[in-house]
Chain A
Amino acid sequence: MSEALIRYEPVSDTPFVAEGVRISLAPPMQRHALRARNAEDLEGLLKVKIPRKIGASQGGIMCLGPDEWYFRNQAGATIPTGEGLPVAITDVSERSICLIIEGPRASEILMSGCPLDLGQFAVGRATRTMYETVEIIIMREAEDCFHVEVWRSFSAWLWIAMTTAARH
C-alpha cells in the first residue's frame, strides 16, 4: 500500500511581503544537533571542517556552544551516527522550521523583538537568542538576509509577531 505523506506547515507557505521586507518559509531541510567535547572527533567522522568559535558558521555547520553545533543540509541527506565515538548526533529535522527574512528592513524587523544589536552582527554569524519570549537561532546569510530557525510549535506565533512588526 502506498502511503501519501502530506506535509502540514505551521505557517503560511505564501510569502509575506511588506515594504522593505519579505518573510517566507524555507523549504524542508535536514537538521542535526551535534555534540562533542572535542571537535576533532566530529571532523574525523564527518570529514568536514568544524568551526571552533562560538557564533561562527562554515559549510552549514554553526557553532552554538563550546561543545554544541547545529548542522543543516539538504532534505534527505544522511550523516554517520558516530557509533562508538564520544559524540552525540541527533536528527532534529522536524523540530524546527526556518523563516527567511530578507530585504533592507530585515534586521529592523528582527530587532523589533530580539535584543541583540544586529547592526554589529556580521554576515556568516549564527547564534541562539530570543525573540520576545521565543527561543530562535539567527543566521545572517547576507547583509539583508537572515535565516531564523524556530521550533515548530512557536512558529505560528512568531510568524504573526514578525508580520505584524513588518506592517508597521
Chain B
Amino acid sequence: MILIHCPYCDEKRPEIEFANAGQAHIARPFDPSGQSDADWEAYLFIRANPRGRHHERWRHVHGCGRFFNAVRDTVTDKFETTYKAGEPRR
C-alpha cells in the first residue's frame, strides 16, 4: 500500500484514506459570463493528462478531511511532494 504524506496531519497515511480530485491549480475565471465558449470549455473539460510529473488535488477524506495538492508521477505512481492548498505550485 502506498503511504501518502498529508500536509495537514503532517504524517504518512495509508492511501485508502485518500481520494484523488483531479488536476490542481485550475482557477475558476472571475467572470464566467465574459468567457468565450472555447475558454469556458477549456476551463471545464480540458486537462493536461501528462505522462510523468503531474500536479493533482487530493483529499484526506477519511482522515482530516482536507484538500491539498500533490506532485505525483503518473508512470511510477510515486508522490514527489505534497503541500497545502493555496501554496504556490512546486
Q: Are B65 and A129 in contact (CB under 8 A)?
A: no
Q: Which of A112-168 contact B (CB under 8 A)?
A: 115-116, 127-130, 135
Q: Are B17 and A130 in contact (CB under 8 A)?
A: yes
**B1 cross-chain contacts in A, Cβ below 8 A:** 115
Beta-carbon nearest neighbor of A133 in chain B: B16
Q: What separation, in Å, do the CA atoms of A129 and B13 have in the docked complex?
A: 9
Contact with B64, one of A66, A115, A116 (Cβ below 8 angstroms)? A66
A-B contact count (CB 8 A): 39
Given contacts A65-B66, A116-B13, list 17 more A-B pairs with CB under 8 A: A54-B8, A54-B64, A55-B9, A65-B8, A66-B64, A115-B1, A115-B16, A116-B14, A127-B9, A128-B63, A128-B64, A129-B13, A129-B14, A129-B62, A130-B16, A130-B62, A135-B62
| A contact residues vs B (CB 8 Å cutoff) | 54-55, 64-66, 68, 115-116, 127-130, 135
